[in-house]
Amino acid sequence: MSRPTPLNIALLGPTGAGKGTHAASLSARFHLNHVATGDLFRDNLESGTPLGRLAKKYMDVEELVPDEVVDAMVEEWCQRVPKERGLLFDGFPRTNAQARYFEAMLQRLGRTLDAVIYLDVPDPEVLRRLEGRRICHRCQQPYHLTANPPRLAGRCDECGAELYHRADDTAERVTARLRVFHRATDPVLDHFTAAGRLIIVSGEGSLNAVEDRLIRACEGLRNRAYGFATARDRAEIARPPLTSPMAAHVARATRDLVLLGGPGSGKGTQAVRLSTKLALPHIATGDLFRENLRQATELGRLAKTYMDRGDLVPDDVTEAMVAERLGRPDAREGFILDGFPRTRPQAQALTEMLTRLKRRLTAVVLINVSDQTLVDRISGRLICRSCQAPYHATFKPPHQAGVCDACGGELYQRSDDNPATVGARLVTYHHQTEPLIAYYRGLGLLREIDGEQPVDEITRQLLVALRDLSPRGAFAIAGAVP
């Protein structure tokens, strides 16, 4: 009797939906190799793999680990799985950009995606569940005080280590995480609905009841006899519409600017120049993240708990840092935002933040630079180990070779600033940014600047574009534009 064709499945759902518990059961029953991105990330860090060492370098300089590093970890893991074994992805893909990468990756590996199974659990039920969730300090095995308790109170069944209640499993933080989850995942569900690959399974009820539903779904897939979700099915679990930008005549008059551009496009340099010329704070998310960590703010301490246990810092923490920064007095009249938003869900998060502040974006400027030029630029980039000031071996060399002009720190080249790695980062950048650009173009806020001109000319054109975008004259500052 021939062995059934192996299944390749992604299992998605909000935090607390039970993905990890059910993924382990399904993997054993259907002979699937199970991968959870959080576990995979920790394994790479602890084992010191090349990708783990690369991720640690980001973490050591208090930077967020880019998506493309995690994507590469997933693909490398998949390459080691024999073709006769199926794959079960737990919580991946999380975004539309990852969904596109995911499909292309499976195609490169000669595999076919059978289904994306979405465990649908209402937000109030998620909040109730997470109040009782406990995690093993050592192996990260999840438990629940009532639904899935350990045999010995407070101790892990697998390794005997102590269980703990995560600091981010509070109602406030869980609500924020759910908002981020739905913003990011709704487009993924829409994508796989249109592709005829989405299965929606109710995640409510006992563990056994949910497991039975999942088993029926997988058996139906194996027998090619399971119906996929229709657009009407998808609409039934859709969340309320996202916040729209505040009307210009209602919003408070501010000079709120976002700069977009690929890695090496010069947006950081231009943000500093505009900040000086327009007397607006330059808010770079990398700097903001490091500031919160070094000052041990509440959000910085929360981010550090993720980093200390080898986890990726989730978007809701980054968004909360940005929201807090935009609410400070120096940003009351405007800001120049650099590095956020990176995706359309983050753009929608920014809209929500500004609406709460009774303001709206004035302008979004995209600095366009060809991929080849970006590769050339980044390959010569140097960074200060102490203050993170950027230099370039050709375009912006330091006064003294290898020494930072600002603080005297040592300059170094990041290990991911090589042509092959930069190319992979650019693929991720385009996947993430194309929907973001379309979003802002649709709102009439976008202007594009040729970023391959001299630095002074780019600055001049930026100021002209800002002036033209602002009918209230918000950026028409005397002497600012030649």
Which residue among 173, 342, 359, 360 is the active-site one? 342
Q: Specify the range with the lowest mean pLDDT, choosing from 42-46, 73-77, 268-272, 311-315.
A: 311-315
Q: Are residues 283 and 342 in the same domain?
A: yes
One domain, residues 370 and 222: no
Q: Does 68 lie in the same domain as 182?
A: yes
| Domain of 454, in residue numbers | 255-380+417-469
Residue 310 banded pLDDT, cuts 50, 70, 90: confident
Q: Quick one: 176 and 305 in the same domain?
A: no
Instruction: Give the residue from 284, 347, 374, 370 showing the smallest Cα distance to 321.
Output: 284
pLDDT at 157 over 80: yes
CA distances from 465 to 174, 179, 368, 437, 461 (A): 40, 33, 14, 16, 6
Separate counts of helices (H) and strands (E) for the chain: 17, 16
Using the predicted structure, report yes or no on whether residue 148 has a pLDDT greater than 90: no
- 223 within some domain: yes
Query: Both tokens of residue 221?
Result: 């897939």
pLDDT digits (tens, 9 = 90+) for 264-296: 899 999 999 999 999 999 999 989 999 999 999
28 membership: H or E segment, kind and range: helix 19-30
* Same-domain status, 223 and 359: no
Asked if 231 and 91 sit in the same domain, the reply is: yes
For range 233-240, the mean pLDDT: 87
Any domain includes 370: yes
The domain tally of the chain equals 2
Question: Is there a domain that residue 250 lies in?
Answer: no
User: Looking at 414, 441, 447, 460, which residue is catalytic?
Assistant: 414
CATH number at residue 185: 3.40.50.300
The answer to whether the pTM exceeds 0.85 is: no
The pLDDT score that the predictor gives to residue 475 is: 55
267 an active-site residue? yes
Residue 81 falls inside a structural domain: yes
Decide if 3 is catalytic: no
Give yes or no: residues 26 and 77 share one domain.
yes
The reported pLDDT for the residue numbered 479 is 43
**222/260 same-domain check:** no
* Residue 447 annotated in active site: no
Higher pLDDT, 242 or 364: 364
Q: Give the tens place of pLDDT for each residue, 102-121.
A: 999 999 999 999 999 999 99
Dist CA 258 CA 31 (whole Å): 48
Selected catalytic residue, list 177, 267, 325, 377: 267
How confident is the model over 237-252, as pLDDT tens digits? 987 766 677 676 677 8
Residue tagged active-site, from 234, 325, 377, 425 = 425
Is 381 part of the annotated catalytic residue set? yes
Decide if 342 is catalytic: yes
Q: Which of 236, 264, 293 is the last residue of a domain?
A: 236
